[in-house]
Amino acid sequence: MQPDGPYRFTETMGVCLVGKAWWAVDGQGRPVTVAVLEGAAAADQRWREAFANAAEAMSKAATGPRYERADFSASYPWVAYPSEGGLGAQHLFRALGMELHPEPGTPPSVTPTTGPSAPVSLPSQQASPQPEPSQPVSAPPQPVSSPPQPAMGPTEPVSAPPQPVSVPPQPMSLPSQPVSVPPQPVSVPPQSVSAPPSVGGERQPWPAVTSPVQEPWSADPAPYDPFSAPVRRIQPSPPPKRRTGLWVAVVALVLVLVATGGGLVFWFGSGTKEPAAQPEPGSSAFPPAGVTGPSLKPWALFPPNGPEERSLATAAPSLVFIEAVFTGYLRDRATKAPVRATPITFNRRCSGFVVTTGGHVLTSSSCVQPSAETVRQIALDAAARMLVREGTLASGQVDNYIKSNLEKTEFTGIDPGSAPTSQLYGQLNDAKGNAVGDPAIPAELVKARPAESGNTALIKLARENLPVVELSGSAEVKDGGSLLVVGFGTDDTDFRTASYTPRPKLVTVTGTARRGDASMYRINDDVGANSHGGLALDPSGRVVGMVDQDLARPDRANRVVLPTTSLLELLTESGVKNELGAPDRAYRDGLDAYFAGRHSTAVSQLEKAATESPTNLLAQAYRQIAAERQKAEDDSSGRPIWPIMLLGGVAGALIVGLVVLIVRMTIRRR
């Protein structure tokens, strides 16, 4: 049973009679272990108090694990421990006298102890003296596995809960007289066996326990017969021959097993190699040589195994580089005559992210469907720079040329009144400008909202089974809080052949603002001019907003974040639902195992994600790192494999020889 709490449960550590231990991650993505009291034990007040007292006692001990969070008043009480301090959940159950074991197909149940227990029938036996009056104990209840024994003196406190055991009446036939034992409830009360009673300040001895049934066979011996023969009339048979050979074989078999066990212990305790040195994440030796992947390396950009690395690794595979290409003619608005005889082509580049396995991408509307005024302004800028290259316009007159012709012109298609043509392309991982072939993926516009209504657009790539990011519908962005923003950026100065890579940055929320009907958050920094339409992430790697341009700034820097509410509204209007696919769930399970140090599980899950979604290069990179770490851990043991093979072969041969020897001795004896 997974209790309600601030954790996401990933895998069961083990189960016991009263509860279960889980692997989980908290809201910041850190691994924890959680102990949960379940079943009838959760309904028993004594078990609940014992569970809480054990957790508090361990937390106050000098070397005991301290829990991170707990809820002892929940219907299923739970305690969470940070995984860096060890397996705190396992230690808590051990403090209660319970050992964890792997979870079977059907979890074991705990018999409720709050009401009368089911009667347990025992074979008939002599009545035993009644125990002394019970005393309360504080130890947690334990199941009773055997009937109580008569107390012959002071004993240790009995901590098992009361379980009345009824003994059905069964008559006991004896040679002299029939005696029947009436049914009496046998219970183990939660008490300590008290000392013998004292009279007048002096301790009295315990009363002797006598049997209520006289033994009928204790009669007087037969009288001596003086006429009996002095020699035995019936001679006893000779004792059987000792089976010396069989005992020798058994002893030899035991010696073989002891020798084999000792050899295995020596093998496990010895090594011929020194433990391999583990490279520190973030160092020049990390990741190991040969690890392939995109230029984005989350493990090298933030503290290793921290929430920033985990958040970036989770969401970055879904980031998309968007390029929109517009072609048309700049015409005089009054005469419809072209300003230039040749068509004008210009590009818009921004970021986006995949939200469905069908290839739907959310991005900025001003990038893929800019307003008519913005299109006209960009076309005039392109025309002015052509005139500068031709020598008919000075470079210092470009801005004046745009302002003087902005209201006199229009940008149309090949015919007056027709719309200019546009083409959309998307690229994942690293991107290149002006790419129209592979790896660029053609796209089409599905729906767009203008700037005053959210400035969001939905496009669809002509490819499916792409890595999907998860939108957080209940995210709260607080003033002064931190966000991880991710978008595409470049350091190249040549726009035509520029290369673009994903770039993350931690930013701070500085306030809120509005743009028409849409609300937004202001941030203190950005990651480049092409980052609008990019990701704003929480520590778990879920999207809490989309990066956009701040139109109130003169430089129109990408320093606002649109909340996810406007993104979800656009998806609803388009009939599209944000859902993770099977490769995305396998990728997240693999990352959970990787950051928890369970490298074998991480390798298998990340391999599955990389195979089913080949564009997820980070899945391949983390799988290689997990495999290298697992190999380094195996090599660090420093134990060769040949000793165990040799010992196993010798032991097997000796056992077979002894079995043959025993069989031959048995046949010969017969």
Separation between Cα atoms, residue 123 and residue 30, nearest integer Å: 55
- What is the assigned CATH class of domain 8-95? alpha beta
Contact 393, 387 (CB under 8 A): yes
**Among all chains, which residue has been given the structure tokens 């004993």?**
155
Asked if 350 and 443 touch (Cβ cutoff 8 Å), the reply is no
pLDDT tens by residue, 361-372: 999 999 999 999
Q: Quick one: which of 215, 209, 213, 214 has its CA closest to 128?
A: 209
| Amino acid identity at 551 | L
Give the dihedral of Cα atoms 15, 16, 18, 24; nearest 10 deg: -30
**Residue 561 reports pLDDT greater than 50:** yes
Q: What is the rounded average pLDDT for all residues in the chain? A: 77
User: Using CA atoms, how far apart are residues 270 and 380, in angstroms rounded to an integer?
Assistant: 79
Instruction: Report the distance separating Cα 36 and Cα 429, nearest Å.
Output: 42
Cis peptide before 287 (omega within 30 of 0): yes
- Residue 249 reports pLDDT greater than 80: no
Q: What is the DSSP track for 161-228?
A: PP--EE----EE--SS--EEPPP-EE---S--PPPPPEETTEEPPPPPP--SS--TT-PPPPPP-TTS
Weakest-pLDDT range from 15-24, 214-223, 348-357, 459-468 = 214-223
- Bigger pLDDT: 79 vs 270: 79
Distance CA 80, CA 256 (A): 47
Decide the pairing of beta strands 560-563 and 344-354: unpaired
Helix or strand run (H / E) with residue 20:
strand 19-25
Rounded (10°) angle between helices 582-595 and 599-612: 150
Provide the residue ranges of all domains of the chain, joining segments of one domain with +.
8-95, 303-574, 582-635
Between 8-12, 78-82, 275-279, 341-345, the lowest mean confidence (pLDDT) is in 275-279
Quick one: tokens of 251? Answer: 């002893």
Residue with tokens 């040679």: 175
Q: How long a stretch of residues is the chain?
A: 670
How do residues 135-161 score in pLDDT, each as one tens digit? 433 334 444 333 334 333 333 333 344
Confidence of residue 90 (pLDDT cuts 50, 70, 90): confident
What SS3 string covers 106-142?
A: CCCCCCCCCCCCCCCCCCCCCCCCCCCCCCCCCCCCC
CATH architecture of 303-574: Beta Barrel (2.40)
Answer yes or no: are the C-beta atoms of 395 and 486 closer than 8 Å: no
